[in-house]
Chain A
Amino acid sequence: MAQRLAWLALALAVCTAGYMGLGLTGPLDFILPFRATKLAALLLVAVALAVATVLFQTLTANRILTPSLMGFDALYVLVLTGMIYGSGVTGYAGLSALALFVINLGAMAGLGLLIFTGLMRLARRDMMRLVLSGIVLGMSISALSQFLQRLIDPSEYQLLQAVSFARFTQVEPLLLGLSALTILPALVLSWRLRHRLDVLALGRETAQSLGEPPQRLQRQALLLICVLVGSATALVGPFASGGGGPSSFFGLIAAAFAYRATPSHRHAILLPSAALTGAIILVGGQLVMERVLHLATPLTVVIELIGGATFLYLLLKRRAA
């Protein structure tokens, strides 16, 4: 397993080098720091979302769910749509990047709080009920933004369209620093949960009998998920397709690849493996988008297209062999 992780790390190093070094045509002292900032954001977001997805899938014991279900992406799009609906193109453009970040993070924190105090109490111990409630919440949030999107005029919509997809075109160093302040501690705490998560993955009863009450761990892990996903989304935007899909494709693919690259039940393996896979997908996807497609399409589309097709291909090839 350690060897496989090393291979993944090597692949990531190749992607990173390619991202920094390919197509250097402009003034280097502009481009290199510019790319380095974007790369840092890509790595931070990739690791945050991949780890959050693995945590979520272990909690729900369901490998086709992702934290997007809890409505973070939908909420991000709703907040933006509401702002553009309310203040128009020029009003929205007057807001600074910092103000936007703070507004978004505030909204995400609010949603996180709602999930904890409201849904957790309502759903009691039932994780499935909590997830279903989350899906419903996400659905109504995105239905509301679809309604507003239908009413805004096409020029406003085009502004919204660009910001409704996760983007790394240009990253504000200040915001990068701010989100690192929340994401990095959350990652450290997630790493420290690894053995307890292994126990939880054995099933509720087993976990209980081994002295690991699932409820407490679930609460802690959910809190970490909220921090990770909320900060990453506030920094770069939503990864769910068009802000509407119930499942963040990126997290789904990163985790699915990781389970297959390093088939293990130990989170000491799964967490770094998912983080590495996620980073490869994100850095590679951004590389393709910038160098091959010339920014003509959102990063999420590149990931869904290439990542999704590769995943299906590998799955079916292995079956045929």
Chain B
Amino acid sequence: MRLAGLAVLTALAGLSLFLGVSDLRPADLLTDPEARDLLWISRLPRTMAAVLAGAALAVTGQIMQVLARNRFIEPMTAGAGSSAALGVLLTTLLAPAAAIWVKMAAASFAALLGSLGLMALIRRLPPTDPLLVPLVALVYGGVIGAIVTFAAYQTDLIQYLGTWLTGELSGVLRGRYELLWLAAAATVAAWAIADRLTLLSLGEDTARSLGLNVQLVTAAGVVAISVVTAMVVVTVGAIPFVGLVVPNLIARSTGDNLRRALPLTALTGAILVLGADIAGRAVIAPYEVPVATMVALAGAVTFLVLLNRGAGRA
């Protein structure tokens, strides 16, 4: 299953490198320096961005669901997304002249601060009521989101924020997506502690009796999630659905063993996002359909069919 996935991903990546507004054929690379520039400046970064963002979003979605013990939650809803929006808004207002990558880095940093704030809140909650954590996260995200809307409403920046934060890869160029490598690093780090996260999904008391430092593992998981979400959101925008649906599909087939599930989750996420971006480039060329729209439309149909076909058998 993994090998087949890798083969599909490689084929899609090849297609992605040679599909775009300008004509670019593999043969041109040998003869035409401009063609090599195009590949290097535009096509390769875009392909990498799709793969990295897809994999990272899917993996952090799964970790989030394990941590919150709730299948319906994804990082975007729990404060990380609205903190990232706040970061984008602040950099736009305070440093309009900064280079794009500086703005992205600053916005990610703001989002990280927002997530740390959430951590501080959650630490003060009683451990008795497991539903309280996601509830507080939702409310916290809502409050930050309200601050963002309030400020953006006054400064006429709502559409601007909406566009920046819609998942779309058309703005990706060399020098404007490299933060995603950091997101990928955080994702790998999360995979490294996957076994401990799996233990956590058995319930805190069980995990503690097995010798797990629950606080530390939870903290590491939350930090990884917020780093990844912040960086993906400010570099390419929010891609809905990947963090929610891919983990749900994978969990249905492989169960809750994270170490086994995560590579497959990452692969599926990457294929979904890259495939959707290729389709988005092709359908109304030379114009584009954002990857978020393609994922939501194509992915939704697939998901509904898969999910409910399973229901027929059950």
Contact = CB atoms under 8 A, between A and B. Distances in A.
Nearest to B163: A150
B72 A126 contact: no
Name the interface size band of chain B.
Answer: 35 or more
Contact of B311 (A124, A143, A241): A124
Interface stretch (A25-33, A183-191, A247-255, A273-281): A247-255
A36 interface: no
Contact of A144 (B70, B168, B296, B312): B296
Name the prevailing secondary structure of the B interface residues.
helix
A54 to B, nearest CB: 15
Contacts of B314: 124, 126
Contact of A140 (B158, B168, B297): B297
B311 A298 contact: no
A144 B299 CA distance: 13
B245 interface: yes
Contacts of B245: 136
Contacts of A253: 139
Residue of B142, B153, B166, B245 with most partner-chain A CB within 10 A: B142
B311 A126 contact: yes
Given A126-B311, A129-B307, A316 B121 contact: yes
A315 B128 CA distance: 14
B292 to A, nearest CB: 5
A301 interface: yes
Given A136-B304, A253-B139, A319-B126, A65 B72 contact: yes
A116 to B, nearest CB: 15
Given A143-B297, A246-B77, A319-B124, A149 B159 contact: yes
Interface in A85-136: 122-124, 126, 128-129, 131-133, 135-136
A213 interface: no
Contacts of B124: 316, 319-320
Contacts of A157: 158-159
Interface centre among A64, A246, A311, by most chain B C-beta atoms within 10 angstroms, is A64
A132 B297 contact: no
B269 interface: no
B139 A143 contact: no
Interface in B130-159: 131-132, 134-136, 138-140, 142-143, 145-147, 149-150, 153-154, 156, 158-159
Contacts of A312: 121, 136, 139-140, 143
B295 interface: yes
A309 interface: yes
Given A126-B314, A311-B139, A147 B304 contact: no
A146 interface: yes
Contacts, number: 162
Nearest to A250: B142
A37 interface: no
Complex A-B, nearest 5 residue pairs according to Cβ-Cβ distance, in ascending order: A143-B296, A304-B146, A122-B308, A140-B300, A308-B143
26 contacts: A123-B311, A124-B312, A126-B311, A128-B71, A136-B300, A137-B300, A139-B240, A142-B296, A143-B292, A144-B297, A150-B166, A154-B159, A241-B145, A242-B149, A245-B142, A256-B135, A256-B139, A296-B153, A301-B146, A301-B149, A301-B153, A305-B147, A312-B140, A315-B132, A315-B136, A319-B126
Interface of A: 62-65, 69, 122-124, 126, 128-129, 131-133, 135-137, 139-140, 142-144, 146-147, 149-150, 154, 157-158, 161, 241-242, 245-247, 249, 252-253, 256, 296-298, 300-302, 304-305, 308-309, 311-312, 315-316, 319-320
Interface of B: 70-73, 77, 121, 124-126, 131-132, 134-136, 138-140, 142-143, 145-147, 149-150, 153-154, 156, 158-159, 162-163, 166, 168, 240-241, 244-245, 248, 289-290, 292-293, 295-297, 299-300, 303-304, 307-308, 311-312, 314
